[in-house]
Chains A and B, each alone.
Chain A
Amino acid sequence: MRHLLRKLGFYLVALWAALTVNFFVPRLMPGDPVEILLSKLGQHGPVTPEMRASVEALLGTNSGESLWSQYVDYLGNLARGDLGTSVVFYPASVGSIIEQTLPWTIGLIGLATIISFLAGVGLGTVAGWKRGSWLDNLIPVTTMFQSVPYFWLALILLFAFGSIWPLFPLNGGYDVYNVTPGWNGPFLGSVLYYGALPAITIVLSSVGGWMLGMRNMMVSTLSEDYMVTAEAKGLRPGRIMRRYAARNAVLPSVSGFAISLGFVVAGSIVTEAVFSYPGIGSALLQSVGGNDYALMQGIFLVITLSVLGANLLVDLLYSVIDPRTRARA
């Protein structure tokens, strides 16, 4: 129980730190984002005093209010879920944009990451178990894929399978002309079809890292005394590999998985830029392009929140699969 409270406390502090960074970044930067944003909003229609107040709370103001009361206003607005109004998607609120785009990102990037993790850990287990086999020698090749910049790999694959051999669509999240969004078969099929190539690029570029890490941990684990014991007991090799070696070797990969979730959300920005996927990364880029600071801040918050949430989840899971972490705390 103490362990749990400690973890929760840490994530609360991290959340507060993220909110504070989000508060100070626009205020420390040169230029006046509020005026830029308000003048852009003004082009679309009248700016109500409420809109002005929420933008000022979000980005800072020159009206002479103390930094502290701005900070309180900002936290209050966030607590009420008021993230302001978007310029790029005027007159939609930032909250509704995030609501629309987040499921796409979580669906595509989340699934691709889980597939990549499972495949990498599985292959790494076998590679470490049969050291020197062809699978083991494949590892340098897969890590090559990792050192290729992701967007370049994605562009080349898109060029090859989108333009030269048109197996996959060039961009978008689903077939906008022929299907209607909703829980129907054609729409879901179209989503899968459009998501396949982006998912493949993500898996290709990240599977090598999981494989290498797992393989190296397997090799280290194989020389433990309990492995000798297991062999001496005459257990089947498959059982030794899965129950004795892999189970212990997978622990660092699990904590790596938590950390990588942060990079996953970050990576989604580039993925969605290449494939024009309608996720939260595209929205972030559009907001950057249109100086839409309110949307930008909102998306940064959501990304941070989801990373923190995922980390917390994996942390809790970790203390279940590795009781030693509970004992130490």
Chain B
Amino acid sequence: MTMTTELSETAIEDNARKPIKVRRLARNPKLLAGLIIGGAIVLFGLLGPLVCQDPRLVNDIGLTGPSAEHWLGTTQTGQDVLAQLAHGTRGSLAVGAIVGVLTLLLSAFFGVVGAYAGGWVDEMFSLFTNIMLVIPGLPLVIVISSYVPDKSIWLVSVVLAITSWAGSARVLRGYTLSLRSRDYVLASRVAGEKRWRILSVEILPNLIPLLASQVVFAVIFAILGEAGLSYLGLGASGSFTWGTMLYYAQNGLALRLGAWWWFVPPGLMLALFGAALSLINFSIDEIINPKLRNQTRAARKGWRMSREQLSKAKEATL
């Protein structure tokens, strides 16, 4: 018993030296790792295209491995893979950002407003949401994009957003319904607050973690979806994304010729970015649902106790 109190005292002292925010982040390694990886990739997408070579520049040194001149080697036509990767990162992130914003707007409108308004508005909105949910997205995207020969990155993103917002709208609706009947909302209604004020000041702030995790999901889904579309040869024309890089690598037989420097980087970037966003989402989940986090191994580490010490402490308190 004495030992454990001593231990926790040192832990408290140790923690008190750091500022609160850093301490919280350090205690949540998932969030920290996710933010660092995701941030690095975003920085690469923002700054990379400014400093690297022209991604379209054709050279007569086709399919060479990494060298001092070309850090990630060259493609079949001698284009610099690193430059393509930088531009591809920017393209893929742009798709993710556009779809994220559109999904946020659409799902918040159909999920939150519908559930708050109630009555026939809610009925119509949720019917519409459910219909959008059961209409298969990717085939619809393929059908639509096959009718349009020249697609911009905007068109692809809008189509992806239209086919993917419904899931988050349903989640948001469920949560808004439970918020709507909470005591403090009823109290503010009795106090005579206006409806838009209740919605934006009382309800919306409580939805922010959920909205954030839905947006993160939408961004992952959009980037993977765009990569899949581009891989099938149906992506935005004349643009660079991770998906189009993989498409050209596949068509250039990079896999058969063993040109790993061509097809591994874009796939790895996709995987890393997806993993970073999932890590962020995990920690948002743990913020929303505290049941998920107590007593995990990370938490025990936070208390600076081993399993034996923890069980001893439990026995002592019992």
Chain A residues in contact with chain B, CB under 8 A? 10-11, 13-14, 17-18, 21, 25-26, 29-31, 33, 131-132, 137, 140, 143-144, 146-152, 155-156, 159, 163, 216, 219-220, 223, 259, 262-263, 265-267, 269-270, 273, 284-285, 288, 291, 293, 296-297, 299-300, 303-304, 307-308, 311
Q: A31-B149, A262-B137, A308-B134 are in contact. List 5 more A-B contacts (CB 8 A).
A: A13-B131, A266-B138, A285-B142, A300-B139, A304-B139
Report the bound CA distance from A144 to B255 in whole Å.
Answer: 22
Knowing A26-B147, A149-B271, A152-B267, the reply to whether A262 touches B130 (Cβ < 8 A) is no
* Assembly CA distance A266 to B133 (angstroms): 13
Contact across chains for A144 and B275 when beta carbons are under 8 A apart: yes
B147, A17: Cβ atoms under 8 Å? no
Tell me whether B285 and A132 are in contact (CB under 8 A).
no
Q: Say whether B291 contacts A220, CB under 8 Å.
A: yes
Among A259, A297, A308, the residue within 8 A (CB) of B143 is A297
Q: Once the chains bind, are B291 and A223 in contact (CB under 8 Å)? A: yes
A131 touches B131 (CB 8 A): no
Contacts of B274 in A (CB 8 A): 146-149
| CB <8 Å contact, B130 and A10 | yes
Q: Which 10 A-B pairs have the closest CB atoms?
A: A147-B274, A266-B138, A29-B147, A152-B267, A148-B271, A288-B146, A147-B275, A14-B131, A262-B136, A149-B270
Q: Which of B148, B267, B285 contacts A30 (CB 8 A)?
A: B148
Whether A303 and B149, one on each chain, are in contact in the complex, defined by CB atoms closer than 8 angstroms, is no
Assess A144 versus B271: contact at CB under 8 Å? Given A266-B136, A270-B231.
yes
**Cβ of B295 under 8 Å from chain A:** yes
- The yes or no answer to B224 lying at the interface (CB within 8 A) is yes
| A residues in contact with B270, CB < 8 Å | 147-149, 152
CB of A147 within 8 A of CB of B144, answer no
Q: Tell me which residues across on chain B come within 8 A of A14, comparing CB atoms.
A: 130-131, 134-135
Q: Answer yes or no: B4 CB below 8 A from chain A CBs.
A: no
Q: Provide 29 A-B residue pairs closer than 8 Å at the C-beta atoms, listed in order of the A residue.
A: A10-B127, A17-B131, A21-B140, A29-B147, A30-B147, A132-B297, A140-B282, A143-B278, A144-B275, A146-B278, A147-B270, A148-B271, A148-B274, A149-B246, A149-B271, A149-B274, A151-B231, A152-B263, A163-B255, A219-B291, A220-B292, A262-B133, A262-B134, A262-B136, A266-B136, A270-B228, A288-B234, A296-B143, A311-B134
Q: Which residue of A lies closest to B228 (CB)?
A: A270
Q: Does B256 contact A (CB under 8 A)?
A: yes
Q: Determine the chain B residues whose CB is within 8 A of the CB of A288 once the complex forms.
A: 142, 146, 234
Report the Cα distance A144→B270, complex, angstroms: 11
Determine the residue in chain B with the shortest Cβ distance to A29. Answer: B147
Is B186 in the interface zone, CB < 8 Å from A? no
**A265 near B136: Cβ-Cβ < 8 Å:** yes
- B250 → chain A closest CB, angstroms: 7
Identify which of A131, A140, A163, A304 contacts B135 (C-beta below 8 A): A304
The answer to whether B133 and A259 touch across the interface, beta carbons within 8 angstroms, is: yes
Name B residues whose Cβ lies closer than 8 Å to a Cβ of A: 127, 130-131, 133-140, 142-144, 146-149, 167, 220, 224, 227-228, 231-232, 234, 246, 250, 255-256, 263, 267, 270-271, 273-275, 277-279, 282, 285, 289, 291-292, 295-297
CA distance A159 to B137 in the complex (A): 29
Q: Which residues of B contact A156 (CB under 8 A)?
A: 267
Structural contact, A269 and B291, CB atoms closer than 8 A? no
Q: B263: which A residues are within 8 A, CB to CB? A: 152, 155
Taking a contact as CB atoms closer than 8 A, the residue among B232, B278, B282, B295 that contacts A285 in the complex is B232
Query: Are B271 and A269 in contact, with the CB atoms below 8 A?
Result: no
Contacts A144-B275, A273-B232, A296-B146 known; A307 to B297 CB distance under 8 Å?
Answer: no
Task: State whether A149 and B227 are in contact (beta carbons under 8 Å apart), knowing that A17-B135, A144-B275, A270-B232 are contacts in the complex.
Answer: yes
Q: Which residues of A contact B127 (CB under 8 A)?
A: 10, 13
Contact partner of A159 (CB less than 8 A), chosen from B135, B255, B275, is B255
In the complex, A17→B128 CA distance in Å? 10
From A11, A144, A265, A308, contact of B139 by CB (8 A): A265
A38 to chain B, nearest CB (A): 16
How long is the Cα–Cα vector from A13 to B224 in the complex, in angstroms?
A: 30
- Shortest C-beta distance, A28 to chain B (Å), equals 9
Chain B residues with Cβ below 8 Å from A304 are 135-136, 139
Least CB distance from A252 to B in Å reads 11
CA–CA, A138 and B312, complex, Å: 27
Chain B residues with Cβ below 8 Å from A297 are: 143
Output the least CB separation between B272 and chain A (Å).
8
Given A14-B130, A17-B135, A307-B136 in contact, is the A131-B295 Cβ separation under 8 Å?
yes
Q: Which residues of A contact B256 (CB under 8 A)?
A: 163
Instruction: List the B side residues contacting A307 at CB < 8 Å.
Output: 134-136
Q: A14-B131, A219-B292 are in contact. Are A269 and B149 (CB under 8 A)?
A: no
Contact B271 A152 (CB under 8 A): yes
A149 to B250, CA, bound (A): 14
Residues of B within 8 A of A147 (CB): 220, 224, 270-271, 273-275, 277-278
